[in-house]
A = this chain, B = another copy of it.
Amino acid sequence: MNIIHFIQAGGTIDKDYLTDDDHRAYNFVIGDPAYRSITDRAEIPYPVGFTMACQKDSSDMDDQDRDTIRRIASEVAEDKIIITHGTDTLHVTAKHLADISGKVIVLTGALKPERLRDSDADFNLGMAVGAIQCLPAGVYIALCGELKRWDEYIPRSPPSLSE
């Protein structure tokens, strides 16, 4: 039985320098979910589940995407959910999940892609994985060293254009 279910929404954390299908040019695009590399490095011994909800900058997400995330989070068997997400609208998605009961849901992301040398991705995902084992049911945000209930989270800066 999976201990944690990961949901990919997208965001900077998953950006890599790849061929962009549209242009056949190299560009930074949201690719494979970073949680995979990170949990491999961390040598996590227990099984986890995964669903890709979308692969978007969070400022490009809409209610349909948030409904998808809510549906997945509600329906999977696991009661521990970590959502990797763009950092700009973590709180918007979090609010959208607030009525889910019986689950510990932690949203996280990164200011720098996991593919970058000095990324905060590993640390933030670690925060989520550590906190999720201690928290009561509810929705939380883990970012930049802070672990907050969704309704106590203060976004770092005004929503920006491509995160």
Query: Hey, which bits of chain A sit against chain B, CB under 8 A?
Result: 12, 15, 17, 20, 23-28, 38-39, 41-46, 111-113, 115-120, 122-131, 133-135, 142, 144-147, 160-163
Evaluate contact between B129 and A127: CB separation under 8 angstroms: yes
| Chain B, residue nearest A26 (CB) | B163
The 8 Å CB contact of A147, one of B12, B111, B134, is: B134
Evaluate contact between B17 and A112: CB separation under 8 angstroms: yes
Evaluate contact between B145 and A44: CB separation under 8 angstroms: yes
- Distance in angstroms between the alpha carbons of A122 and B116 in the assembled complex: 13
CB distance from A44 to the nearest CB of B (A): 3
Evaluate contact between A41 and B123: CB separation under 8 angstroms: yes
